[in-house]
Amino acid sequence: MLEGRPVFENDIVYRVGDGFEVFVERLIHDKNDRWQIKIEVNNNPALWTQNMFRQCFTWTRPTPKRTFELNGVELPCPIDYTTIKREGRPTLKIGNDYFCFRTENDKRKVSEFISGILTEARDKQ
């Protein structure tokens, strides 16, 4: 069982932390009445106890974090607000354009970075 759902051979699960996709190759019932899960990662098989498997894997596919690079700094991409409601979303207005972000922290990172670039340009002698 993983997160209340049974695990079967040929299932795909995701490693907690990095979201790496893992193939469940085989379920093994040992002589001590315990289950072990044989998984394959990059064509390398590995055997996991049921307890460790529950701690290290999830059914939930990770949402890829979208980023872009500006002046060598990685920043979060704005999200497409045409497919979602803009109201209540952290929004940055630049000129006549609105840029929505997933979190207030993402918006703050971009806003502070752009503000820093403009401040530096303004203060150049």
Q: Domain total for the chain?
A: 2
Q: How many of the other CB atoms lie within 10 Å of CB of 101?
A: 21
Domain annotation covers residue 72: yes
Q: How far apart are CA 11 and CA 25, in angstroms?
A: 8
Domain annotation covers residue 5: no
The radius of gyration of the chain from alpha carbons, rounded to an integer in Å, stands at 22
Q: How far apart are CA 36 and CA 56, in angstroms?
A: 14
Domain annotation covers residue 1: no
**Whether residues 104 and 73 fall in one domain:** yes
pLDDT at 85 over 80: no
- pLDDT band at residue 65 under the 50/70/90 scheme: confident
Higher model confidence: residue 21 or residue 113?
113
35-39, 79-83, 90-94: range with highest mean pLDDT = 90-94
**Whether residues 53 and 33 fall in one domain:** yes
Kindly report the pTM of this predicted structure: 0.50
pLDDT for 33 equals 62
Contact between residue 21 and residue 14 where contact means Cβ atoms under 8 Å apart: yes
In tens, the pLDDT along 11-42 reads 888 888 888 888 888 888 777 666 777 776 66
- Could you list the residue range(s) of the whole structural domain that residue 45 is in? 12-58
